[in-house]
Amino acid sequence: MASKNTSLRPQAETSAWNIYGRLLRYLKPYVFWFCLSVVGYIVYACANVMYSHVMEKLVAAIESDDAAARWWVPTQIVIATLLRGAGMFVGGYFMAKVAFNVVNDLRVQVFNHMTHLPVSAFDARPSGHMISLITYNINGVTVAATDALKKGIREGATVIGLLAWLFYLDWKLTLMFLSVAPIMGLLVTKVAKRLRRLSSKVQDSVGDITQVSSEMINGYKVMRTFGGEAYEQQRFTQASKKNYAQNMKIVITSAANAPVMHLLIAVSMSLLIYAALSFMQLESTAAFIGYITAVGLIVTPIRQLGEVAPMILKGVAAADSVFTLLDEAPEADTGTRTLGRVKGEVEFRDVSFRYPSQERAALSHFNLRVEPGKVVALVGKSGSGKSTLVNLLPRFYDPRSGDILLDSVSIRELRLANLREQIALVNQQVVLFEGSVADNIAYGRREHVSAEQIKQAADLAFVTEFVQNLPQGFDTLIGEGGARLSGGQRQRIAIARAILKDAPILILDEATSALDNESEHMIQAALESVMKGRTTFVVAHRLSTIERADLIVVMADGEIVEQGTHQALLALNGHYARLHSRQFDDDSER
């Protein structure tokens, strides 16, 4: 079930302008294009000022009946229009080029940073919210980086140019016109703060929608089997209604802002016209028309400038969640040593571990030494700590206390990449990626292995047996998550991937769980060949898969309760014997 997520929000309120300033630092590589855009908008602003001057000349020409003005005034209008259009194109094109490059850089940086986050960061967040951050939230940054910046520069340059012209024409009237500016500024500030809060809530609601959709799509078979259609429809409707409600609050706030701004500007213009007609001494009708035209031209830019701050604050709310994630520390890689291919001696020395969200320890003072090339089977009830133990070896998590040694070297001293190069993993949740069979077998090393090496690994894992019946053989696309393959076929591809890596340590976490009996016997024969000369940890509930292990470790509540060979443990008539007897009875009943 999608849960409310606040982990992407900052712990303390960060200044909106500090966040926006950080976002603008991404402009640095594109400063040349940015400057070209500014030049374009300055030309656009100058053309607007030119319009008001042309109107003054037009009225003067009408009053004087100047024949030359019949040609010159229309020509000026055409020139002003051409300049205005050219400025708008240059400014808009290069600003968009800058903005979308910034968004692209930010999206790639976020994705790359996610690939280096610790496992705990993924455990703490629903996957839907993580996906929403890359898609929706970063798209929200476009509003601040594109529309707001473009509108702010374009309309800002226009307002500055027209204000300068208005002050030049009559500074007293202009000051009167600007008398409502403080009220407008207060309104913009209030609206902007509310929009930022609402935008954060919209992002959370989009994350909920993504989460519910992802769970339904990935679990559609379970949904249909257990009749969960109505339940999922209700969940999605609630998430969608929440998103609708938050968006409507934004619409109401923005829609109410515009009429109030219009009213303030209209009051200001009315006072201006009244003062001009009642008290001010105007040089000519043409001058008055030119002035009023400039005032009319400045109204729209001022109104649109009032929309810039809310737009920025909405984008800032999106950027805030993005920067919060970027500020999270990547997976700690404190190791300094690099080993060649290790022998495979592994020792767990007084290891204890507890998950942050749980009170009970998953492992408690665990001690185990494994000789190179030996096969160790870990058995026990669910929750006994088997998978936790093998997850500590590649340092997906670090022990709370104790140490793990690889060839007598603490794994904390090794660089993560070097440590993980020594380990191949096949877990019970098979992960395949969009691409071909060959791409998935050679995942992470596609450029370094040949087609022949891929085929050899596929032969050992009995992948070739079903691949030869596929339309394009090893080049056949398998769909998202291997959707076009059976569970057993997906498992065999994962095993082939581990075989191809040829690591000295092999972890098989329920590696045969998705196979039928015939496939399991085939894979078991292949694995026994592959495990020779490699230190292998086998986690299995089906005890028939680990009877020939060199050492069987029976775990309960994060501790070792028994260890020995299959025959020795049966002779003890303890935990292992009871597990074996119970499973044997279950198999007999089948």
- For 286, phi then psi, to 5°, come to -60, -40
- How many Cβ atoms are within 10 Å of 230's Cβ, its own excluded? 9
* Structure-block tokens of residue 492: 């065999």
Least-confidence region, from 42-46, 310-314, 457-461: 310-314
**How big is the CA angle at 426 (ends 373 and 388), to the nearest 5 degrees?**
85
Residue 151 lies in a domain: yes
Any bridge partners for residue 363, and if so which?
A: 353
At residue 431 the predicted structure's pLDDT band, cuts being 50, 70 and 90, is: confident
Residue 315 lies in a domain: yes
Residue 81 lies in a domain: yes
Least-confidence region, from 345-354, 515-524, 542-551: 515-524
- Cβ-based neighbours of 6, under 8 Å, separated by 6 or more: 204
Q: What is the pLDDT of residues 157-192, one digit of tens each?
A: 888 888 888 888 777 777 777 766 666 556 656 666
Residue 49 lies in a domain: yes
User: Residues 460, 499: contact at Cβ < 8 Å?
Assistant: yes
Max CA-CA distance within the chain? Answer: 121
51-55, 266-270, 400-404 — which one is most confidently predicted on average?
400-404
Cα 403 from Cα 400, distance rounded (Å) = 9
Write down the pLDDT at residue 517.
60
Does 516 score more than 50 pLDDT? yes
Cα 37 from Cα 43, distance rounded (Å) = 10
CA dihedral 61, 67, 68, 73 (to 10 degrees): 40
359-371 burial, b for 16+ CB within 10 Å, e for fewer? eebbbbebebebe
The number of residues in the chain equals: 590
- How many Cβ atoms are within 10 Å of 19's Cβ, its own excluded? 24
Write down the pLDDT at residue 590.
46
By DSSP bridging, strand 505-509 and strand 423-426 are: parallel
Closest CA relative to residue 15, chosen from 327, 325, 317: 317
Domain range for residue 300?
16-326
Q: What is the pLDDT of residues 83-135, one digit of tens each?
A: 989 998 999 899 888 888 888 888 889 889 988 888 888 887 777 778 878 87
Q: From start to end of 329-464, where are the E strands?
A: 346-353, 363-370, 375-379, 401-406, 409-410, 423-426
In what helix (H) or strand (E) does residue 506 lie, and over which residues does it extend? strand 505-509
Closest CA relative to residue 213, chosen from 482, 6, 32, 2: 2
User: Residues 402, 349: contact at Cβ < 8 Å?
Assistant: yes
Domain count, the chain: 1
Write down the pLDDT at residue 366.
94
Cα 479 from Cα 94, distance rounded (Å) = 39
| Mean pLDDT score across all residues of the chain | 80
- How many Cβ atoms are within 10 Å of 176's Cβ, its own excluded? 18
Write down the pLDDT at residue 10.
44
Residue 535 lies in a domain: no
Any bridge partners for residue 553, and if so which?
A: 378, 563
Count Cβ atoms within 10 A of the Cβ of residue 140 and give its class: 0-12 exposed, 13-18 middle, 19 or more buried.
buried
Residue 62 lies in a domain: yes
Does 9 score more than 60 pLDDT? no
At residue 522 the predicted structure's pLDDT band, cuts being 50, 70 and 90, is: low
Closest CA relative to residue 321, chosen from 152, 115, 139: 139
Write down the pLDDT at residue 82.
92
Q: Residue 556, SS3?
A: strand
Is pTM, for the whole model, over 0.85? no
Least-confidence region, from 128-137, 245-254, 376-385, 397-406: 245-254
Write down the pLDDT at residue 346.
95
User: Residues 396, 411: contact at Cβ < 8 Å?
Assistant: no
Share of the chain above pLDDT 90, in %: 19
Residue 352 lies in a domain: no
Share of the chain above pLDDT 70, in %: 80
Write down the pLDDT at residue 589.
47
At residue 545 the predicted structure's pLDDT band, cuts being 50, 70 and 90, is: low
Helices (H), 65-170: 69-114, 119-123, 127-132, 138-142, 149-169
Q: What is the CA radius of gyration of the chain?
A: 35
In what helix (H) or strand (E) does residue 341 lie, and over which residues does it extend? none
116-120, 231-235, 395-399 — which one is most confidently predicted on average?
395-399
Does 11 score more than 60 pLDDT? no
Cα 132 from Cα 208, distance rounded (Å) = 9
Q: What is the pLDDT of residues 329-348, one digit of tens each?
A: 888 888 899 999 999 999 99
Helices (H), 219-329: 220-225, 229-278, 285-326
At residue 414 the predicted structure's pLDDT band, cuts being 50, 70 and 90, is: very high
Q: From start to end of 417-475, where are the E strands?
A: 423-426
Residue 495 lies in a domain: no
CATH of the domain at 248: 1.20.1560.10
